[in-house]
Structure 1
Amino acid sequence: MKNQLYFVLTWITMSLGGIMFSCSDAPKETTSRNTIEGATVIEDKIKRGSYLVKAMGCNDCHSPKKMSANGPEIIPELLLSGFPAERPLVKFDSKLIPAGFTMFYPDLTAAAGPWGVSFAANLTPDATGIGNWTEEQFRKAITQGKFKGLEGTRPLLPPMPWTNYTALSNQDIGSIFAYLQSIKPVKNKVPAPISPEKF
């Protein structure tokens, strides 16, 4: 009888010890694994966003460029920072606009047309860019053409092709936003648009 009681008590003790041991280690392993998997998911999201930004041609207008022997080249430290605020506007013949012409600044960061003059926005995570935006604001801006992604604001002006992006999935928009939030912030308050009557 004593042997049976001893066996039962030993089994209970070992079982409880095993449960306590496995419980004390499980959260650490799960947390560690979840952290690694979470970091991988974010990294993959940012990579996807980088791919989409390049494929969609966002740098064409939103990244200032310098002229080189190979033509316009992106200025890396100004990546996606929009029309440089301190840059003077190139003079152009505004009489051509009513005739149906559209003109671009040499590096494509500004454009003039029947809508007036528009400047490519700062897409970096600085406060002068989209640093204070929510993903929902970004979604509204890129798929509904709302300035700063806010209701009751002016529409985004040409040449921003937001109508091409209305069918983007929430997943793709989230990836683009994650990528833009990961790049170097650039302080650059882009000028307000100029209406046609102020040419």
Structure 2
Amino acid sequence: MKVFAPLVFTGLLCACAPPAPAPATTEVAGPSDIEIGRYLIRIGGCNDCHTPGYLQADGKLPESQWLTGNPVGFRGPWGVTYASNLRLTTQTVSEDDWVAMLAHRSDAPPMPWPITRAMSSGNHRSLYRYIRSLRPAGPPAPQRLAPGERPSTPVIDMVPVAPDAP
């Protein structure tokens, strides 16, 4: 019994200890960087904004049309932003600069930067390699506009509207 009591006490201490913290990021695994990147693009909703007509087509657009930027802007208190042509962007920035951008950037709403900042650098690299594999296509997206500047393109207003009074 004297040998058993310390074991029980040690077991209880271990059971009451706080759990180990979860890792800050989780690495998505797959057969290749290209497949991982394609998967992340699909589940991350990247095409929703960066591919014209993707939502209207219920996601049924060929990959050859993916990630070419969007001429429809998002207007809010920040001005007007446009979803960039990622296929051109990955041709003009290095892989390391891409990883740094996805890990640290926080401007240009409504881009969901918290999502990209939560990804691992390995997944950032998979995104870069997948997008680069698509090759350049399409024109650059329009430039961001400051608050008060008038857009020459269609926009989606991102300002909440209060309901009508009864």
Is residue 111 from structure 1 mapped to residue 74 from structure 2 by the alignment? Answer: yes
Residue identity in the other structure for 1:174: R
Instruction: Specify which structure has the higher proportion of helix.
Output: 1
Please, which runs of 5 or more residues in structure 1 have no aligned partner? 1-42, 85-104, 146-154
Aligned length: 121
Q: Mapping of 1:32-71 within 5 angstroms?
A: 44-65=32-53
Return the alpha-carbon distance in structure 2 between the equivalents of residues 177 and 67 of structure 1.
Answer: 23
Return the alpha-carbon distance in structure 1 between the equivalents of residues 132 and 81 of structure 2.
Answer: 24
Tell me what 2:134 maps to.
183
Higher RCO (CA < 8 A, seq sep 6+): 2
- TM-score, normalisation: structure 2: 0.63
Is residue 198 from structure 1 mapped to residue 149 from structure 2 by the alignment? Answer: yes
CA shift digits 1:88-112 (9 cap, x unpaired): xxxxxxxxxxxxxxxxx4xxxx211
3-state SS, counterpart of residue 112 of structure 1: strand
CA shift digits 1:113-141 (9 cap, x unpaired): 111110000111x4xx3202111111122
Return the alpha-carbon distance in structure 1 between the equivalents of residues 103 and 55 of structure 2.
Answer: 32
TM-aligned CA distance change 1:58 to 1:66, over 3 Å? closer
Return the alpha-carbon distance in structure 2 between the equivalents of residues 81 and 45 of structure 1.
Answer: 20
Tell me what 1:80 maps to.
67
Identity of aligned residues (%): 30
1:161 Cα deviation after fit: 0.8
TM-aligned CA distance change 1:180 to 1:67, over 3 Å? closer
Instruction: Report which of the two structures shows the higher radius of gyration computed on alpha carbons.
Output: 1
Give runs of ≥4 in structure 1 deviating > 3 Å. Answer: 70-77
Return the alpha-carbon distance in structure 1 between the equivalents of residues 42 and 50 of structure 2.
Answer: 11
CA contact (8 A) 2:48 2:55 kept: no
The CA RMSD over aligned residues, in Å, is 2.5
TM-aligned CA distance change 1:182 to 1:67, over 3 Å? closer
Return the alpha-carbon distance in structure 2 between the equivalents of residues 176 and 162 of structure 1.
Answer: 14
Q: Mapping of 1:113-192 within 5 angstroms?
A: 113-124=76-87, 126=88, 129-145=89-105, 156-192=107-143
TM-aligned CA distance change 1:71 to 1:50, over 3 Å? closer
Return the alpha-carbon distance in structure 1 between the equivalents of residues 33 and 54 of structure 2.
Answer: 30
3-state SS, counterpart of residue 117 of structure 1: strand
